[in-house]
Structure 1
């Protein structure tokens, strides 16, 4: 049974949330004897442009200051998104992050300028054999994964596991989780400019009447999606076994890594922070949770939200937790320890 530490906080005071996050971090460090390396990235989500309910930058100040005071150099770390938006390329991603206030420490976009730099992490699980993990993660052994618990249209909810799976995966890894197939071309939008052909290092794209992708040659890096000037190349979102693939990618992302997880159960919206619009919360604020087992942590968050709301919110996501436990990522059974 894994220990999950919890501070109840129903207020919308972000300074206090930051203090709670630090208190929980210190608790986990004390209880586990955790020793920090000289460099520790903080995995966060900067929020899509137009989103108003992502966890704001000030919530990370206390943790950042604590790390610095203890001789640790912290960084923010993320990967580029699969879809076209304000975080598709490193340049746009960092611009969005800074506009949202994430200016306290350097930012690492781990999968390169357009999301195609990755290392393959072998896991040999049921659906995924090798995970495409952003190359920038490879130089670090430790991370603090700080998540925002909220809904997600495909995953049921987003929390620690999704932060690992999607947040550590390069663009091709994200595509593999969602569909496992090649990107597709909308011939009506394609102008046959050939930019995608030049970008593809695998000879998988040809120009005929429009761009055509050879699924036998395509490795699913999805770099063509990022460089298409007309948005004619897209991914599909209807892949099979998405929740299981999500869990397996989380396993690959955390393999041989030493990670502390902290999750804010605040601003609980129906959709995730990737949606570039203002959303209204659908449940009351609950607090901050932390631990070293992402499965136990996500299970505790889900249980607390459902208990507080009296509804089976985000229940779809429990399937990912079941598979995560099955493959050895963590345990769903937990001891919830509330601290003041």
Structure 2
């Protein structure tokens, strides 16, 4: 069986995101928020364990009000330190979320930090140093951004993994979890 690398994982995840975005663009949703009937997990072992259904929400509006409404729909049971993972973009790139929207959102989520990871490809966010410079250029200086893999990565085992037996995680992530 071929090992499932970190790069393969991100290719699959990226494809899923693009597919979901394409579906959202082509589907005619009559209201701003819609819950998709997605099953998060299925029967995973011989003990007859059946997973729960995930709640997935979509909004065609990208603004502070919509973001806060979505958060309020899913925030039940969230406690402790919360990571807000988002894309901070390449230097002067077009795909950067409005910083004022993120700032308001981050202030609304108690005990939260913005987190990012370095990229697998050689670009403006490939190393922690170049990533920090890109953050400055793109205006992400209103709040600290934790770069989860700034101290490197570590491979963690995936118990009973169907497609891969280990996954790469930033070393800082482990410190925050422990």
Q: TM-score, normalised by structure 2?
A: 0.60
Instruction: Check whether the contact 2:92–2:138 (CA below 8 A) recurs between aligned residues.
Output: no
Compared with structure 1, are the counterparts of its residues 66 and 21 closer, same or farther at alpha carbon in structure 2 (3 Å cutoff)?
A: same
Distance 2:122 2:78 in 1: 39
The Cα of 1:81 is off from its aligned counterpart by: 1.2
Alignment partner for residue 132 of structure 2, among 82, 94, 101?
94
Distance 1:41 1:90 in 2: 18
Instruction: Check whether the contact 1:42–1:77 (CA below 8 A) recurs between aligned residues.
Output: yes
1:5 aligns with 2:79: no
Alignment partner, residue 168 of structure 2: 132
Alignment partner for residue 25 of structure 1, among 33, 50, 71?
71
Q: Deviations over 1:193-232 (max 9, x none)?
A: xxxxxxxxxxxxxxxxxxxxxxxxxxxxxxxxxxxxxxxx
Instruction: Check whether the contact 1:56–1:100 (CA below 8 A) recurs between aligned residues.
Output: no
Alignment partner, residue 103 of structure 1: 141
Q: What is the alpha-carbon root mean square deviation over aligned residues?
A: 2.2
Structure 2, unmatched stretches of 5+, are 1-36, 38-53
Compared with structure 1, are the counterparts of its residues 84 and 123 closer, same or farther at alpha carbon in structure 2 (3 Å cutoff)?
A: same
The Cα of 1:140 is off from its aligned counterpart by: 4.2
1:44 aligns with 2:86: yes
Larger radius of gyration: 1
SS in 2 for 1:51: coil
| Higher relative contact order (CA closer than 8 Å, sequence separation 6+) | 1
Instruction: Check whether the contact 2:155–2:168 (CA below 8 A) recurs between aligned residues.
Output: yes
Distance 1:74 1:104 in 2: 14
Instruction: Check whether the contact 2:153–2:170 (CA below 8 A) recurs between aligned residues.
Output: yes
Structure 1, unmatched stretches of 5+, are 142-340
